[in-house]
Chains A and B, each alone.
Chain A
Amino acid sequence: MTTLNRQATPQDPDHLKGLHDDLQEVWGNPRGIRALTIVNHTTVGLRFMVTGMVFFLIGGILAMLIRTQIAMPDQNFMNPDIYNQVTTMHGTVMMFLFAIPMLEGLAIYMIPKMIGGRDLVCPRLSALGYFCYLFGGTILTFSIVLEMAPNSGWFMYTPLSSSEYSPGLGSDFWLLGITFVEISAVSAGVELVVSILRTRTQGMALHKMPIFAWYILAMALMIVVGFPPLILGSILLELERAVGMPFFDVAGGGDPLLWQHLFWLFGHPEVYIIFLPAAGVVSTLIPVFAGRPLVGYGWVVFAITVMGFISFGLWVHHMFTVGIPQLAQAFFSAASMLVAIPTAIQVFVWLATLWVGKPRFELPMLWIVGFLVIFVCGGLTGVMLALVPFNWQVHDTHFVVAHMHYVLVGGMLFPLMAGLYYWLPLFSGRMPSETIGKWGFWLVFIGFNVTFLIMHWTGLLGMPRRIYTYDTGMGWDIFNLISSIGGFVMSAGFAVVVIDLLLHFRYGKPAKENPWRADTLEWANSLPPSPYNFVSLPKIETRHPLWDDPDLPRTIREGKHRLAVASHGRRELWGSDPLTGKLREVIHLPGNSWWPFCAALALAVVCVSLLIRWYPLAGIAVIVAGVFLLRWSWENGAHPRAAPDARVQEGDPPLHSRTLDGPGLWTMTTTMIANGAFFLSFLFGWFYLWTVSPEWSMPDTSPLSLFAMLAVGLLFAVGCTAMETCVHRLRQRNDLGLRLRLLVAALLGAVASMVLLWLILSADLAITETAHDAVLMVGLVYALFHVSLAALLSLLQALRVGYGYVSAEAPFEPVVVAYFWRYSVLMLWVLVGALAILPRVIGG
């Protein structure tokens, strides 16, 4: 090992024990009720995965109910309304409460361990994400118990999901619950991006990153860009249901197809968001069991990137039957087929790796082969479905149901199971049972194929999806019965897997170090890992640190590498260069905190009070949540609870809060990418309705005062300039007049929000009459939120200057806030152009 041991840790066991105690003191997890304050990625990741598993079992039970109902013709096991609730919830639970959170949980758990970090870069955000997921998922699932579950299908097509055709609370449960859960998805996406880019250990250049990190980076970026359209869509649909704003109502000038576009703009990338991490598991496991590096690492990175981009250009293939122009169909058809290329590249890279390697056939590999068989089959039917005339025939039949399960179960669940078995020793320190594991695999594999292979045929015989009953005599009876039997075999298989997992915690053989002879850093952890992962952070030379130096786990444990000190009370990891992995700063992370839990709880109150339409409580809860979040942000940077002193070891880079380019800046930028995707979706909605909606009407004179809009834009731009000046002077280590400038910016922002508020109140928008006015209202409220939040953040910065948390020595935070200002000023002017100027220029 070439890393210089700068800490010169003495070898005596007492010192080592002292070091471990120090680290345990700083990083350790509290017990009892205070376990709710834990922010550590290991714990949060496990919580995500265990909760995801519970939702998987719930979704599985729902699937069994479906298969029981349609096992035979003319059954009366469930009435149609309950059946519709069950099918809707099966899809919703599996997609939103199992697949995404489960994979995010795996990434949250695995990424810091693989890239040589000690935690994710925003630990409190991880915890907030988890609680949002837990509370949102629980609220949503609770609707089944109340027999009030959403019942208009998991993609909630309106007008069926509108208040007119779905009067109860079902759709509201879906829209509010899912939006709440998406907070967790997006926050995990943001911090995974930043963690992968900025917290890799020393020397881990981008091209030396484990391939799994590439997959997760792509997934996280796709979440950041892909989820906002659905969040916007859900907000709009909920506004239509609760307030009556006619975004999707033809009579009011809206268009139900806008919902389909927003849904599938999210929905298609989501398929790849689910597939990519799973493929990442395959690309991680195959080299380990082939005993040689992945061939064509560059090819795989290329394939991942291409897949990420193409997946955003495919959403229309879910809408081939809505009557879109032929040319558009040909385009989306070709684009959908193109995805076969990056997929095939990966399949053949895996094949080539096995070909030139020395494969060992162990339990995880069984699931990988199962994955390949099922996924290739799903991929082939996918190419068929991309062909428009064939798509028209089988769209919305059981053929599509079969295809989708082949892709999702094959492409996600099988690799996930492989991954779970592979990383089990890491989770528990024990090995799985080969025998029970094999039984579980074969039952699931056979059960799955019996259920779904035959279902292609049922679909070709014309059986539509989502019907709760059918007549005998269509020729569907025997195939449905076979599918149902297969379904029960598959669940028996999962029962065996669950039993195996539970038993292994008790009876599994203790794992020895690096049990699969893997190459990546997560196996340098102790089994199971400590909350701080690594006692010292190693320097990385190649992609295969553990193959290069099998002794690495021991030297890490003995503190022979860097950052092996915790007596200063800070939680530390490296901040490194996103490309080269050179060290840039020492990142210090906040510790355990009640704020994430409290904020999530307040948001849950918002969600429930919106659900029961008790708006005063919702208002109060929003304010409480806001206060909690701001209070949370107070304990940052140079705050004594975040970093009591700024001293670092000799030779180490400075603390990130004492630089101008810490991870917070990256987090803000990534968040603004998500925010920008949300805003672009809004603009898409505005122009879509304007140009395509059948009954859209544009008033002759805009209800928005151009003068007031320009005034808001100008005031805010001047405020932004004040912020920019602050940043500019801080770069020169000059904090003279910093507080005054921040106050000026805050004041200008506040005045701008007042004008904007006046504009909204005086514009007299008929938001329940026309989609036009309803869209304007959403745009203005979005702007108001940004303008006032920017003012508030600057005000808080000015206060922090007074406390001494922000200064020329700790210049970090105003830079982050200035980024928010920049985004807002850009957004505001685009909005002025799109909503106030363009209609005046072009007219209706």
Chain B
Amino acid sequence: MSERKERCTASCIQRAGARQVNPATLLALAAPLALMGCAGDKSILDPAGQVAREVALIWWVMLSFATVVFVSVVSLWLYALLRKHREHTPTQERRIVRYWIVGGGLLLPGLTICALLAFGVPTGKRVLPVPLDNAPVVIEVVGHQWWWEVRYPNAEGEAVVTANQIVMPAGEPVDFHVTAADVIHSFWIPRLGGKIDMLPGRTNRIRLDADAPGRLLAQSAEFSGVGYAHMTFPVEVLPREEFDAWLAARQPEAIEALTATADAATLASFEESCARCHRVAGLSTGDTGPDLSDIGARATLGGGVLTMEEGAIAHWLEHHQTLKPGNKMPPHDDMDAATLEALGSWLETLTP
């Protein structure tokens, strides 16, 4: 019985997830959006997934309603202040007063609350990671000061590990299991929905889905200290096949093969200066800093401070304390520019 109910809820959710908003509504929404500049990589009013879309709709409805209430209350007040005084008998006065207090003080907020809850509570339920018939993709995200560790666990209990980027399939629900390694962070992909806190010692779950392939942004959204402003991470939404290929390219044999191209000198300086904190699959196992195994394939560096292009890593290695003040990588004053450049160009080749 309970199992059936569960399955029913689950299929409802899938249906809700698959439902598309009709184009007319979208157009009606898009017009004011374009006018006021709602678009933006982190704008919650430019939704790219079902959950965010529902919240955006809720916002517009609430805004319209609130505007009506606001304008009426303020106009009533101004009218009461400025209108010509009329004498009332005590009975009339009592009636006026009762009218205002019961109407404005009890009914108005009471009905508003009921409407809002009826509208809002079901939306909240849709984000819950209830079991589905087809188990969704699970992505584990661990917040660190000031970067994200991202893991794709498989059935055998092993995981593909990457950092500071999220790659997810389009058009299907994805469960994010989030936690933190040091202080509290918060997981947020504004155009998909959220957010949910990453707490040390706990794992929180949230279900999101993206409509179509494309590039989005994730943001760590709980204040976490000096590096907090630089915690923006690219979210790559891929068609299912490409996502599978992406994951396959990061399986142990495939990813460890990448390191073969390094020359001995670069490897030695990597061993000496980087390996203790950074993991590169097949080379090192350090885990205090971000995993670098596929760093060359990431869209940005340093939590969004640099776009990945030729020479970006070397530039980062040289100037990271000015680019992202306070980050926990020590300054590389003791290493000459040539070594840093060699390291940078080698790391850029780690592109599965």
Contact = CB atoms under 8 A, between A and B. Distances in A.
Interface of A: 79-81, 84, 151-153, 157, 159-160, 165-166, 250, 255-257, 295-296, 299, 303, 321-323, 326, 329-330, 333-334, 337-338, 340-341, 343-352, 354-359, 361, 365, 369, 372-373, 376-377, 380-381, 383-384, 386-390, 392-397, 457, 460-471, 473-476, 694-695
A396 B222 contact: yes
Given A352-B96, A392-B194, A470-B229, A383 B112 contact: yes
A573 B75 CA distance: 46
20 contacts: A80-B325, A151-B225, A165-B183, A250-B200, A295-B97, A322-B199, A334-B113, A345-B106, A350-B77, A351-B80, A365-B81, A369-B81, A376-B73, A383-B116, A384-B59, A389-B54, A389-B193, A460-B38, A462-B40, A476-B40
B196 A392 contact: yes
Nearest to B39: A475
A80 B201 contact: no
Contact of A390 (B55, B74, B228): B55
Contacts of A389: 51, 54-55, 58, 120, 123-124, 127, 193
A387 B190 contact: no
A79 B194 CA distance: 30
Nearest to B219: A464
Given A159-B184, A160-B224, A393 B100 contact: no
A348 B100 contact: yes
B128 A326 contact: yes
Contact of B201 (A153, A392, A694): A694
A351 B100 contact: yes
Nearest to A373: B74
Interface of B: 36-45, 51-52, 54-55, 58-59, 62, 66, 69-70, 73-74, 76-78, 80-82, 85, 88, 93, 96-97, 100-101, 103-106, 108-110, 112-113, 116-117, 119-121, 123-125, 127-128, 145, 182-184, 186, 190, 193-197, 199-202, 204-205, 219, 221-229, 232, 304, 325-326
A347 B204 contact: no
Contacts of A467: 228-229
A474 B39 CA distance: 9
A159 B128 CA distance: 27
A806 B23 CA distance: 86
B109 A322 contact: no
A256 B199 contact: yes
B183 A159 contact: yes
Given A81-B325, A376-B73, 6 more contacts: A159-B184, A160-B183, A160-B184, A354-B80, A356-B97, A388-B124
B121 A330 contact: yes
B96 A338 contact: no
A74 to B, nearest CB: 10
B190 to A, nearest CB: 4
Which of A337, A344, A369 is most buried by chain B, counting CB atoms within 10 A of its CB?
A344
A468 B225 CA distance: 11
Ranked 8 nearest A-B pairs via Cβ: A462-B42, A250-B201, A345-B105, A348-B104, A323-B204, A467-B229, A475-B40, A340-B109
Nearest to A337: B113
B221 A695 contact: no
A352 B100 contact: yes
A384 B124 contact: no
B206 to A, nearest CB: 9
A384 B66 contact: yes
A359 B78 CA distance: 11
B184 A341 contact: no
Contacts of A695: 201
Nearest to A319: B197
A460 B120 contact: no
B222 A351 contact: no
B43 A460 contact: yes
A168 B327 CA distance: 17
Contacts of A463: 42
Nearest to A342: B105
Contact of A466 (B227, B228, B304): B228
A350 B202 CA distance: 48
A826 to B, nearest CB: 35
Which of B37, B52, B82, B120 is most buried by chain A, counting CB atoms within 10 A of its CB?
B120
B145 A165 contact: yes
Contacts of A380: 66, 69-70
A50 B73 CA distance: 35
A396 B100 contact: no
Contacts of A250: 200-201
B41 A474 contact: yes
Given A159-B184, A352-B101, A388 B120 contact: yes
Contact of A256 (B97, B184, B204): B184
Contacts of B228: 80, 466-468
A393 B66 contact: no
B187 to A, nearest CB: 9
A365 B78 CA distance: 11
B178 to A, nearest CB: 9
A475 B44 CA distance: 12
A377 B63 CA distance: 11
A359 B199 contact: no
Nearest to B93: A356
A334 B105 CA distance: 17
B110 A165 contact: no
A465 B224 CA distance: 11
Nearest to B203: A323
A602 B207 CA distance: 55
A347 B104 contact: yes
A182 B100 CA distance: 40
Nearest to B119: A387
Contact of B194 (A351, A365, A376, A393): A393
A341 B190 contact: no
Contacts of B123: 389
Contacts of A348: 100-101, 103-105
Contacts of B224: 160
A394 B63 CA distance: 14
A373 B71 CA distance: 9
Nearest to B178: A323
Contacts of B202: 257, 323, 694
Contacts of A338: 113
Contacts of A153: 223
A461 B45 contact: yes
B221 A396 contact: yes
Contacts of A466: 223, 228
A471 B304 contact: yes
B30 to A, nearest CB: 16
Given A351-B104, A389-B127, A323 B225 contact: no
A151 B58 CA distance: 35
A165 B225 contact: yes
A356 B117 contact: no
Contacts of A457: 36
A532 B44 CA distance: 59
B226 A80 contact: yes
A457 B46 CA distance: 13
B137 to A, nearest CB: 20
Contacts of B81: 354, 359, 361, 365, 369
Contact of B101 (A329, A349, A387): A349
Nearest to B79: A355
A152 B225 CA distance: 6
Contacts of A357: 85
A334 B119 CA distance: 12
Given A326-B128, A337-B117, A356-B96, A372 B74 contact: yes
Contacts of A340: 109, 112-113
Contacts of B59: 384, 390, 460
A343 B123 CA distance: 27
A333 B116 CA distance: 10
A365 B228 CA distance: 43
Contact of B197 (A299, A322, A349): A322
A354 B73 CA distance: 13
